[in-house]
Amino acid sequence: MEITPKFIADGMLGSLARWLRLAGFDTEYFSGKDKYFLAYKARNEKRLVLTRDRKFFENNRTISVFIEAEDLRAQLKEVRNKLKLELVNEKLFTICSLCNLPLEEKKVEEVIGLVPEYVAKTQKHFSQCKKCGKIYWQGTHWERMLNFIKTINHED
Ligand SMILES: [Zn+2]
């Protein structure tokens, strides 16, 4: 059985963290300075560190992946290539992009008044983050994100 990796994105990789969450990967974001704590947290929570800090990577090769690319698209490709990840899977849009917590499915009755009226009228599937309350639905923004991830998946 294949185990889905969990990540901690080191500083400067905040966008990458949000996109990995949207792709369904449990990804914490670490903005602290204490790299010993980062390594400890990674080991403790069995997370792989995604980092642009070469020194950290050299000292922690077994628990980290060095990200060379600077822009998001290239970073996502790098993660996919280095870890042989499938970015489009059944877990797409199951984790809050802000909080890294699992989303709960909601019925349209439950989100009336919380989403724009036209959205409540046209969409059927909603999910919500328990922590921040953000509601996700399969609108145009969703489609754009899905297409972005799909095109990355088809590039080398
Ligand atoms: Zn949230």
| DSSP string over 85-146 | --SSSTTTT-B-TTT--BEEEE-HHHHBTTB-HHHHHH---EEEETTT--EEESSHHHHHHH
Query: How high is the pLDDT of residue 89?
Result: 75
Query: How high is the pLDDT of residue 46?
Result: 96
Provide the mean pLDDT of the chain. Answer: 93
Indicate whether 90 pLDDT > 90.
no
Ligand 1 centroid vs 60 CA: distance in angstroms? 30
Ligand 1 centroid vs 134 CA: distance in angstroms? 6
pLDDT above 90: percentage of residues in the chain = 78
Both tokens assigned to 80:
């996919």
* Residue 2 exposed, middle or buried by CB count within 10 Å (0-12, 13-18, 19+): exposed
Ligand 1 centroid vs 142 CA: distance in angstroms? 16
pLDDT band per the 50, 70, 90 thresholds, residue 3: confident
Query: How high is the pLDDT of residue 2?
Result: 61
Averaged pLDDT, 77-81: 94
Both tokens assigned to 136:
């996700």
pLDDT band per the 50, 70, 90 thresholds, residue 126: very high
Ligand 1 centroid vs 96 CA: distance in angstroms? 5
Indicate whether 75 pLDDT > 90.
yes
Ligand 1 centroid vs 116 CA: distance in angstroms? 19
Ligand 1 centroid vs 62 CA: distance in angstroms? 30
Ligand 1 centroid vs 102 CA: distance in angstroms? 8
Indicate whether 94 pLDDT > 90.
yes
Both tokens assigned to 96:
């809050």
